[in-house]
Structure 1
Amino acid sequence: MKILVAGATGFVGRRLVRALHDQNHDVIAFSRSASEAGFPSGVEPFEGDFGDPASLEGMCDDVDVAYYLIHSLTAENFAELDRTYARRFRQRASTAGVDRVIYLSGISGNERDLSPHLASRREVEAVLEGGEYELTVLRAAVIIGRGSASFRIVDDLTDRLPLMVVPTWVRTPGNPIAVDDAVRYLVRLLSVPETRGKIFDIGGPSVLSYEELLRMTANVKNKRVLIIPVPVLTPELSSHWLRLTTDVQYRIARPLAKSMRHPVTVDDDRDLQNVVPIDQTPIKTAINQALTVN
C-alpha cells in the first residue's frame, strides 16, 4: 500500500513513518524538512510547504492512504493557517483519487465553549470531511512521549516547582495515552474496514487528572511536589503562568493551556479500543519511557 504521511517530522509523524515502513508499506514522508530528516531506507521524502501551493504538486500521486498530521500552533494565526492548509490538502487528495484520509485530532469534552485550539481541530475535521475520499478521524487525549508539548509542560513543572500554586484546571480529568499506543492505533486501523468514514476517541487505560499526572511524573523522577489549586488563575492568566514555568514555546503553551479546562476522557461509544483492541500501555510505563527514551 502506498501511504503518505503529511507532517512526517513531527512528534507523532516521525514514529508513524517508521511503524508503517516496518509493516512493509511504501511510505512518502511529507515535511518542510523531509530531505534532512534521516528517515529509514526505502522511505520517500517529499519536501514541501502547505504555505506554498506549488510545492504540493504531485504530493498525492498514486497514494492509497494519506495521514494528515499538520498543525500550526506555533503561528499566531494558527486557526486561519490550519483551515487554509486543510483545504489545499483536501483538493489535492481528492483530485489524485486518494482512497482514504486519516486525521489525528483531539478530544474536547462536551463540544461546548471550545478553546481556539480545539475549535480549530473541529474546523479542520469539517474541511477534510468534504473531500472525495473516506475520512477517519482519531481524537486523542494528551499524548505522552518525548517530544510531546503537553507532556513537556508536565515534566518542566515537576522539575521546577516543588510547591505549585496552580490553576484549577489541574483537576480536569483525561485519558492520557502513550505515543506508541497512538501510533499502534493509527497503523492497525488500516486493516479494519469498520473504521472507514468514522470518528473515534483514543486514550490510555486510566482516567487521571492533570494533578494526578503531575504527581505520577514527579514520583517516577523521585521528586516530591506540593500542589495547591487556586481559582484565580483564568485560562488567559494560566497561559502567562506557563510562560514562566516551562521552556515550551509560549505560542504553543498558550492555546494548550486554554484547552486544559476541557475534560479529555474517551467516550465509550467512540472508543477505538472496542474496534481495534490493543494492549494499552500503563500510564506510569508511558511516563518512564518518555523520560528515558532518547
Structure 2
Amino acid sequence: MPQTVLVTGASGFVGSHLCTALVAAGHDVRAMTRHPDDYDGAGKAVYGDVDDEQSLRAAMDGVTAAYYFVHALGSDDFEQRDADSARRFAAAAADAALRQIVYLGGLGSDQDDLSAHLRSRRQVEKLLGETGVPVTVLRAAVVIGDGGISWEITRQLVEHLPVMLTPKWTKTRTQPIALADVVRYLAGVLGNEKAIGRTFEVGGPDVLEYADMMRRAAIVQGKKLRMIDVPLLSTTLSSHWLALVTDVDLTTARNLVDSMSNEVVVRDKSIHDVVSGEDIGYDESVRRALADRAAKS
C-alpha cells in the first residue's frame, strides 16, 4: 500500500538510491535535505535539519513513516551529536503520529567490546523508539556500492597501492552487503507488519576478512595486491595512513578503523522470512560498484 514517506539523508549514499526505489514502488517520497533548492534526486525535496526540531515537525506533516539515515561520523563529538539528533527526531515523529521509523544501524554483537561508532549506533536505535513510535532496525556491515565510505576505502587502497601494510584489524571478519540488497531490504520492511518494532541483521552471502575484501576487489579489477602483515600498527597510525592514501578525512578514518576491530557478521537470518530475494555475492557487488563509478565518469 502506497505511503507518504520521509527519507532523511536523501542525497546521501543509501538515501538517494532508496528514494528512487520508493518512488518506483509508488510511494509519495519526501526527500529531506538542508538544501532543497539544490536537490535533484527522486521524490519531493523538503527542508529539514536534525538540529532544528521545528523543521523536523514541518517535514513530517502528513507523513506516515520515516527513514533515518543520519550520523555525524566525521565529527569528534559524533556520539553526543547523534544522540541529540535522534532524540529530536523521535520527539517530532511522536508528535506527527508516525506509524514506523526505519533505521539503518551497524552489525556487531552486544556481548563484544563495541567501538564508539557501533555503541553510538546502538544508542540511536534505542533513542528513536523512546517516544513510542515503532522502530524497524536493519543492522549491516560494509555496504558495497559507488560512493559508500567503507567501500571507497577498499577501492582506493586497491587502486593506489601495489603493496599494502596489513594491520591486525585487516584480519577481522565482516559480512559485506551489496547496495542493491540494502535498498531491497529497506524498501521491503516499509509498512510490513512482520517488521514493525523488530531488529534484523542483513549481509551478503560471503563472510570475509577485510584483507580478503581488498584482495578479491583487486582480482576483480585484474590487479595483484601484495600484503605485508604489520600486526603492531596502531589504530591511530592506521587512520593517519588511510587518510593519507585515500580521500577519507582523518576523523572519519579514525572512527571507522576503531570499528574494524569488531567482528560484524550476521547471526540472525530472520530478515529472509520478511523480505524475499537472493543476496548478491561480494565479487558481483564489486563489479556493480565499479560499473556505476565508470558510468559517472
Q: Give the structure-2-normalised TM-score.
A: 0.94
Judge conservation of contact 1:204–1:282 (CA < 8 Å) in 2: yes
Q: Is 2:14 aligned against 1:12?
A: yes
Alignment of 1:233-248 (within 5 A): 233-248=233-248
Shift in Å, 1:76: 1.8
Q: Is 2:232 aligned against 1:232?
A: yes
Separation (CA, whole Å) in 2 of partners of 1:111 and 1:249:
30
**TM-superposition CA deviations, 1:146-181 (whole Å, max 9, x none):** 011001100111112111112111111111000110
Judge conservation of contact 2:18–2:183 (CA < 8 Å) in 1: yes
Q: Secondary structure at the match of 1:263?
A: coil
Shift in Å, 1:34: 3.0
Separation (CA, whole Å) in 1 of partners of 2:168 and 2:109:
17
Judge conservation of contact 1:192–1:276 (CA < 8 Å) in 2: no
Separation (CA, whole Å) in 2 of partners of 1:184 and 1:261:
28
Q: Secondary structure at the match of 1:29?
A: strand
Shift in Å, 1:257: 0.7
Q: Secondary structure at the match of 1:15?
A: helix
Shift in Å, 1:182: 0.0
Alignment of 1:139-150 (within 5 A): 139-150=139-150
Shift in Å, 1:35: 2.7
Amino acid of the residue matched to residue 246 of structure 1?
Answer: T
**TM-superposition CA deviations, 1:1-32 (whole Å, max 9, x none):** 11110111110000011100000101111011
Judge conservation of contact 2:136–2:189 (CA < 8 Å) in 1: no
Shift in Å, 1:44: 1.7
Which is further off, 103-112 or 174-183?
A: 103-112
For structure 2, the 5+ residue unaligned runs are none
Which is further off, 145-154 or 165-174?
A: 165-174
Q: Secondary structure at the match of 1:57?
A: helix
**TM-superposition CA deviations, 1:107-127 (whole Å, max 9, x none):** 023542211111111111110
Separation (CA, whole Å) in 1 of partners of 2:141 and 2:122:
14
Separation (CA, whole Å) in 2 of partners of 1:111 and 1:239:
25
Structural RMSD (CA): 1.4
Amino acid of the residue matched to residue 203 of structure 2?
Answer: G
Which is further off, 223-232 or 178-187?
A: 223-232
Alignment of 1:71-220 (within 5 A): 71-190=71-190, 192-220=192-220
Q: Give the structure-1-normalised TM-score.
A: 0.95
Shift in Å, 1:131: 2.2
Separation (CA, whole Å) in 1 of partners of 2:175 and 2:271:
13
For structure 1, the 5+ residue unaligned runs are none
Matched with 2:291 is 292
**TM-superposition CA deviations, 1:227-268 (whole Å, max 9, x none):** 12222112222212212221112222110111011111101x
Q: Secondary structure at the match of 2:59?
A: coil
Judge conservation of contact 1:202–1:271 (CA < 8 Å) in 2: no
Q: Secondary structure at the match of 1:58?
A: helix
Task: State percent identity of aligned pairs.
Answer: 40
Matched with 2:279 is 280
Separation (CA, whole Å) in 1 of partners of 2:189 and 2:56:
27
Amino acid of the residue matched to residue 15 of structure 1?
Answer: H
Amino acid of the residue matched to residue 125 of structure 2?
Answer: E
Post-superposition, which runs of at least 4 consecutive aligned residues in structure 1 deviate over 4 A? Answer: none
Amino acid of the residue matched to residue 148 of structure 1?
Answer: G
Judge conservation of contact 1:9–1:33 (CA < 8 Å) in 2: no
Matched with 2:262 is 262
Amino acid of the residue matched to residue 118 of structure 1?
Answer: L
Q: In the superposition, relative to structure 1, how do residues 5 and 103 fare at CA in structure 2: closer, same or farther (>3 Å)?
A: same
Shift in Å, 1:279: 1.6
Separation (CA, whole Å) in 1 of partners of 2:257 and 2:222:
26
Q: Secondary structure at the match of 2:262?
A: coil
Which is further off, 152-161 or 230-239?
A: 230-239
Separation (CA, whole Å) in 2 of partners of 1:191 and 1:86:
21
Shift in Å, 1:141: 1.3
Judge conservation of contact 1:86–1:127 (CA < 8 Å) in 2: yes
Amino acid of the residue matched to residue 10 of structure 2?
Answer: A
Amino acid of the residue matched to residue 106 of structure 1?
Answer: G
Judge conservation of contact 2:100–2:191 (CA < 8 Å) in 1: no
The size of the alignment, in residue pairs, is 291
Separation (CA, whole Å) in 2 of partners of 1:230 and 1:32:
43
Judge conservation of contact 2:7–2:67 (CA < 8 Å) in 1: yes
